[in-house]
């Protein structure tokens, strides 16, 4: 596609519910990142994929967060047993290579846990 | 502790004024990037700076990378309402895998 596509755009979840957020990167992009952005703050790193390999997941805040990219293209970020503190915008970014020249971001998924 | 600090946190100016925002760290970076983010959208890359002392210009925006590659500045000349947004600097946290970190941002508002 022309850009990074994320879905859904908005998600309201009841506390304790599981959610799955999808990222469709630019075709052929090797690197894929997930970020969490709280209101009024900069994005916080969650995890990084190079093709299908998850090379860095040091930013995932708890074992309730899980990300996968099984075929090296589409990625899913899953949050189990959502908590109110999980409310944030979740951004996905992709890059053709290691990203030294920058990343292309999607518009994000705004998750609200009530 | 933030790896990247940005100042000021908020800036509100009138159209036509000049401004400078800063990105600082105690760490040395191989490269540093500036992004601009509008409400409801993801960040959009403005520039990448690689060489210490490097200056890059993008129309009315001038970016400078510090000689020691620890800091950077963004100067906007004759600001316009369309420049309104959140300005983020970002860099690789070297030696920590591919952890690409952002500063907290400077929220700029340009009033007509």
What CA–CA distance (Å, rounded) separates B110 from B101? 27
Residues B71-97 have a mean pLDDT of 88
Q: Is A85 helix (H, G, I), strand (E, B) or coil?
A: helix
> Is B1's pLDDT higher than 70?
no
Q: What value does the CA radius of gyration of chain A take, rounded to a whole number of Å?
A: 13
DSSP secondary structure code for residue B95 in this structure: T
Mean pLDDT by 10 residues, chain A (114 residues): 90 98 95 93 92 93 97 97 97 84 91 97
Q: Which residues of A touch B (CB under 8 A)?
A: 4, 31, 33, 35, 40-45, 48, 50, 55-56, 58-59, 91, 93, 98-108
pLDDT score for A93: 94
β-bridge pairing B10-14 and B106-111: parallel
Cβ-Cβ contacts under 8 Å, B86 against chain A: 42
Helix and strand numbers (H, E) in chain A are: 0, 11
Residues B102-112 have a mean pLDDT of 95
> Is B95's pLDDT higher than 70?
no
B42 vs A41, A59, A108: nearest CB: A108
Q: Binning pLDDT at 50, 70 and 90, where does residue B29 land? A: confident
Residues B74-96 have a mean pLDDT of 89
Q: Binning pLDDT at 50, 70 and 90, where does residue B82 land? A: very high
pLDDT score for A72: 93
Are A81 and A111 in contact by the 8 Å Cβ rule? The answer is no
Widest CA span of chain B, in angstroms? Answer: 45
What CA–CA distance (Å, rounded) separates B70 from A39? 27
Are B108 and B17 in contact by the 8 Å Cβ rule? The answer is no
Query: B14 is written with which tokens?
Result: 């009138």
How many CB atoms within 10 Å of residue A83?
14
> Is B94's pLDDT higher than 80?
no
Are A104 and A94 in contact by the 8 Å Cβ rule? The answer is yes
């Amino acid at each position: 596609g022309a850009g990074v596509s994320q879905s859904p755009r908005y998600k309201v979840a009841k506390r304790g519910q599981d959610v799955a957020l999808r990222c469709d990167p630019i075709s052929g992009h090797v690197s894929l990142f997930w970020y969490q952005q709280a209101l009024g703050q900069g994005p916080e790193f969650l995890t990084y994929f190079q093709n299908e390999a998850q090379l860095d997941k040091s930013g995932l805040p708890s074992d309730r967060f899980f990300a996968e990219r099984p075929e090296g293209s589409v990625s899913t970020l899953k949050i189990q047993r959502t908590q109110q503190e999980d409310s944030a915008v979740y951004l996905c970014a992709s890059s053709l290579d290691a990203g030294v020249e920058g990343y292309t971001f999607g518009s994000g998924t705004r998750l609200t846990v009530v | 502790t933030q790896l990247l600090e940005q100042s000021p946190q908020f800036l509100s100016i009138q159209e036509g004024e000049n401004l400078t925002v800063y990105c600082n760290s105690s760490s040395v970076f191989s490269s540093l990037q500036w992004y601009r983010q509008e409400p409801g959208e993801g960040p959009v890359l403005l520039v990448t700076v690689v060489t210490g002392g490097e200056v890059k210009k993008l129309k009315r925006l001038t970016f400078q990378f510090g000689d020691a590659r620890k800091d950077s500045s963004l100067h906007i000349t004759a600001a316009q309402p369309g420049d309104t947004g959140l300005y983020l600097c970002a860099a690789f946290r070297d030696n920590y895998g591919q952890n690409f970190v952002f500063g907290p941002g400077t929220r700029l508002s340009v009033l007509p």
